[in-house]
A = this chain, B = another copy of it.
Amino acid sequence: MTQSVAEPCLDDPSTTQPAPAPRRRTGARGARPGGRSERVVRAVMHAAAAELARAGYMALRIEDVAALAGVNKTTVYRRWPTKAELVKATLRSLVDGDGEAPDTGSLRLDLLELVRRIVAVASMPVGHGIYRVLLAELHLPEVEAFARACDDERFAPWREVLERAVARGELPPGSDLRLIIEMIRSPLALRLFQLREPVDDSVLQAVVDTVLFGAKNGGAVLRAASPGPPEPPATAAPAPRDPAHR
């Protein structure tokens, strides 16, 4: 349901500096490209990203964002009635690909496209401040609720890609899709956002291939929890779901 609150809206953040140009879905309802409306959206997104990185979620004030963006605060409220909506739009504006699920016909290529979006965000100067700030605030119920809400949106393209793969027979039914998503994202988030290390394409491929290979072979099908460690079929057949097997 709710996923990696842990990397709060992690694909999205990126921080300390100018946010990238917002994409279409940024909340700019009906903004004409290049028009005044789009310029306003862009300015507000930039300002909100900078403020978020500086002040964090709890202390973020729409007034400050408006002032920094050089717009009237009612302009901000009109488009984004709540702080949560403004911040969500801001985080979304950092993500490439408009949050759409890729659909190449190959699960591997779809996943590579998704992980490359994360790398693209991490390569922006804006990322780590927002990440750190949100993570530090994650124990606050309001921030946690916000992060969980974000996750639902953020994981949607991942789920879509995986569900299609299950439907195509590329993944065994019963695979824990959330776990697959977390297994791919978290080692990359670790390096990109926590260790702040560059991650090249060979690492992306290794993570995707390792998890995908294991998942295709039933590794991510949860078996009934057993107290002891049954020496298992870590080799080829999908993990048994037979309740007798414990």
Contacts and interface: CB of A to CB of B under 8 A. Distances in A.
Contact of A206 (B209, B222, B231): B222
Interface string A152-180: 00000000000000000000000010011
A123 interface: no
Contacts of A239: 205-206, 209
A43 interface: no
Nearest to A176: B206
Interface stretch (A17-25, A59-67, A182-190): A182-190
A220 interface: yes
Select the residue from A4, A108, A214 with max chain B CB neighbours within 10 A: A214
Contact of A195 (B4, B215, B227): B4
B210 A223 contact: no
Contacts of A136: 132, 135-136
Per CB-CB distance, the 4 closest pairs between chain A and chain B, nearest first, are: A6-B194, A210-B214, A210-B219, A213-B214
5 contacts: A186-B186, A186-B187, A186-B189, A205-B229, A210-B210
